Amino acid sequence: MGNLLGTLSIASQALEADQGALQVTSNNIANANTPGYSREVSVFEPEPVVTEGNVEFGQGVTLSQVQGIRDQVLELGLQQGLQQQGQTNSYLQSLTQVQSLFNEAQGVGLQGPLSNFFSSLQNLSTNPTNSSLRQAVISAGQTLASAFNQASSGLAQVQQGLNQGIPQTVDQINQLTQQIAQINGQIQQAQSSSADPNQLIDQRNQLIEQLSGLVGVDNISASDGSVTLTTTSGALLVSGQQSFALTTGNVSGNVDVFSQGSDITANLSGGTLGGYLQARASISSTQQGLDQLAYSLGSAINAQQEAGYDLNGNPATHEPFFNLPASGPSGAAAQISVALTDPSQVAASSDGTAGSNGNVLALANIENQTVVSGQTPTDYYSNFVATIGTEVQQSTNQQTAQNLVVQQLQNQKASVSGVSLDEESANLIQYQTAYSAAAQVVNIINQIARTAITLGQSG
């Protein structure tokens, strides 16, 4: 049989539920532009029925849940995309700096000084006794050595910047993992008291996205609502309420990254940090290539110089042209300098006479000899430069593609989780109508109740 009070309570419960739904809608509208906000949807559930005799009476509605609408798969995909984007961006930034050191398209780099050096030798061959031509050879040699020094120091500076950026990035990573661990705790608490931790989950996702931009992470959801984060190579970053800080330390002149005491640098990838490490490896290889050129060219010149005679007819056996590191190519570009101090020391002569140019002709001819890793100096440098350009070009293309991918993922995420004002407005109308209807029911019950109360009274 129903009863009026029961009906009233159903109506007033409905009012509560609709009020709640309106509040959720209002919250969505307010947060329409909040970054990382996932729209919330009110979930209505009917109250359990009550059976009287063989009639089941529904007991109204309750707002059982406020559900945050998000797609975890999309979110993970977006985090992956951000990791790659972060890495490519920071890698490209460093490479662009390297490229500007050798921008032969604008005449910057080694080609000019190399050509000038060989030209000065050719010039001397036309008049070996001429002191200003001899001085010009020494000057051209100094200019060439300087160019090597500067290029090498430019590369070293980029490396230094990277080694400074790595600890800074690690600090940021540690701050984020700390915050994520904290939120893990808060979410665990909220879930155990069966509250909906929507805001916390959104916050955590934002933090993980930021973290992804900094380093490559794997994201594993645990059953208690927390996430476990590790680097892509498995080093633990966050587990439950605990975060594990990364540290940095100096290893053979480079800053390496450590997790719980072991050096994880070699396997780190993704994000800005991955980009820095990739750039550092690339620049190290570029530096080696430069050193090879300086060392091989310098050594060939030295060998030929020492095979000749100086202006005074003395064999130039212990008068090398360039100073080079004794141990090998490493550091050659940074250290190369002209060893000769006097123009008369240039070993132009091949027979001990002042006017012979046989040796300086041979020196000039080194330009056409395959003295650098089986290539002429010019060919070697040409490949060196093309390699750098190709690397930058490929990374630039990668960056463009990845930006599009990330954007698409963000759009997809917004499509699922973003607030649509049209939709919320429609919801407003819907809940307002329901509220009005419920209120109207209350009104009518009120009237009926009054009637019922005055039933017994009569005139």
Partner 1 sequence: MRIVPSELYSDLLSNLQIDRQNVNQAVEEASSGQSVNTLSDNPLAAGQLVINRAQIADVDQFSYSINTVQGSLNTADSALNSVVSSLTQAVSVGTEAAGGTLTSTQLQALAQQIDQISQQAVGLANTTYQGNYVFAGTTVTTQPYVASSSSPSGIAYAGNNNTNSVEVGEGQTVTLGLPGSQIFNAPGADVFQSLTDLSNAIQSGNQNSIASGISEVQTSLNNVVAQRSLYGDTLQQLNSDSTNLSQETLTLQQFQTNLIGANEAQVATNLSQAQTTLQAAIAAASQVSQDSLLNYLK
Q: Which is nearer to partner 1, 106 or 223 (CB)?
A: 106
Q: Which is nearer to partner 1, 191 or 376 (CB)?
A: 376
The DSSP call for residue 5 is: H
Segment 312-371, which members bind partner 1 (CB under 8 A)? 349, 351, 353-358, 361, 364-365, 367-368
CB of 336 to partner 1, least distance (A): 20
CB of 379 to partner 1, least distance (A): 7
Give Cα 297 distance to the centre of its chain.
38
Q: Which residues touch 430 (CB under 8 Å, ≥6 apart)? A: none
Q: Which is nearer to partner 1, 197 or 413 (CB)?
A: 413
What are the φ/ψ torsions at residue 255 (nearest 5 degrees)?
-90, 120
The Cα 67–Cα 336 span in angstroms is 68
418 binds partner 1 (CB under 8 A): yes
149: exposed, middle or buried (Cβ count in 10 Å: 0-12, 13-18, 19+): middle
For 195-200, the CB contacts below 8 A with 24+ separation are 196/65, 196/66, 196/67, 196/68, 197/225, 198/38, 198/40, 198/66, 198/67, 198/68
4 binds partner 1 (CB under 8 A): no
| Among 8, 29, 437, 439, contact with partner 1 (rule: CB under 8 A) | 29
Q: Which is nearer to partner 1, 268 or 409 (CB)?
A: 409
Segment 140-169, which members bind partner 1 (CB under 8 A)? none
The Cα 445–Cα 439 span in angstroms is 10
390 binds partner 1 (CB under 8 A): yes
Residue 123: CB atoms within 10 Å = 18
Q: Please identify, among the stretches 216-224, 272-280, 328-336, 382-390, the one whose residues bind partner 1 according to the rule CB under 8 A.
A: 382-390
CB of 360 to partner 1, least distance (A): 10
Q: Which is nearer to partner 1, 416 or 449 (CB)?
A: 416
425 binds partner 1 (CB under 8 A): yes
Q: Which is nearer to partner 1, 281 or 414 (CB)?
A: 414
Going 387 to 392 to 393 to 398, the CA torsion angle's sign is positive
The Cα 258–Cα 250 span in angstroms is 10
Segment 95-134, which members bind partner 1 (CB under 8 A)? 99-100, 102-106, 111-112, 114-116, 118-119, 122-123, 125-130
Residue 131: CB atoms within 10 Å = 11
Q: Which is nearer to partner 1, 221 or 387 (CB)?
A: 387
Number of residues in contact with partner 1, rule: CB under 8 A? 70
Joined together, the tokens standing for residue 183 give: 């939120």
| Among 43, 392, 405, 439, contact with partner 1 (rule: CB under 8 A) | 392
DSSP class per residue in 351-373: SS-TT--HHHHHHHHGGGS--BT
**Residue 330, amino acid:** S
| Among 420, 439, 441, 442, contact with partner 1 (rule: CB under 8 A) | 420
Interacting residue ranges for partner 1, rule: CB under 8 A: 29, 32-33, 99-100, 102-106, 111-112, 114-116, 118-119, 122-123, 125-130, 349, 351, 353-358, 361, 364-365, 367-368, 378-379, 381-383, 385-390, 392-393, 396, 403, 407, 410-411, 414-416, 418-426, 428-429
